[in-house]
Amino acid sequence: MQYSGPQISDSSRATATIAIFGARANELVKSPEALKTVEAWKGTAHVSLIPVSCDAQWGKASSDLVNCVYQDHVLAIIALDRNAGHLAEQIGVKAFVPVVAISSDHSLTSTNVPWIFRLPKGTSVQHALKLVLDAVSEAGSNRGAIRERLASGKPVAGIRFESTGEVKE
């Protein structure tokens, strides 16, 4: 899928902000594995992980995610499961935010939305985080450039995506 819409401007923030969306998001961003992944990142910006729990009421979870996108200017969303992936997809496509969903649900990528990437269920949050941070390192703080990098078919953190957002084998 190609994106031929308006240019996406660079984030003016010195922080690479990533939203972690799903059940137990609060715990996962504080886990030793996530903290190690952030510490090991060689990027030029500081990294901020914003947990958005979907354990709350649906309306609160979606409002919190919208706030992350528009107020905190996240560069990407990592959705932790199928339900979080579908909600993140709806918000990500409207705000031009790349979404990396950890899910076995192929319908996330079957609609050919160029902002959605799917990792197989069971992929660790740390691997998804490394993928996103490596894409930020290579593409900079521009959501469109991050999406282009992930969609390029070239490996990022050892993963290559098809143009549909599915992992290339």
User: Would residue 156 count as lying in a domain?
Assistant: no
Distance CA 15, CA 42 (A): 13
User: 132: domain CATH number?
Assistant: 3.40.50.2300
Q: What is the mean pLDDT of each run of 10 residues along the chain (169 residues)?
A: 50 74 94 91 81 80 91 94 92 91 93 89 95 92 91 94 91
User: Would residue 142 count as lying in a domain?
Assistant: yes
What pLDDT does 25 receive? 94
Distance CA 105, CA 65 (A): 21
Distance CA 137, CA 83 (A): 29
User: Would residue 20 count as lying in a domain?
Assistant: yes
User: Would residue 159 count as lying in a domain?
Assistant: no
What pLDDT does 54 receive? 83
What pLDDT does 3 receive? 47
User: Would residue 85 count as lying in a domain?
Assistant: yes
User: Would residue 25 count as lying in a domain?
Assistant: yes
Query: In sequence order, which residues have a C-beta less than 8 Å from that of residue 35 and are 6 or more positions away?
Result: none
User: Would residue 9 count as lying in a domain?
Assistant: no
pTM for the complete prediction? 0.89
Number of domains in the chain: 1
User: Would residue 2 count as lying in a domain?
Assistant: no
Structural domain including 43 reads 15-151
Query: In sequence order, which residues have a C-beta less than 8 Å from that of residue 125 and are 6 or more positions away?
Result: 20, 28, 31, 33, 34, 78, 80, 102
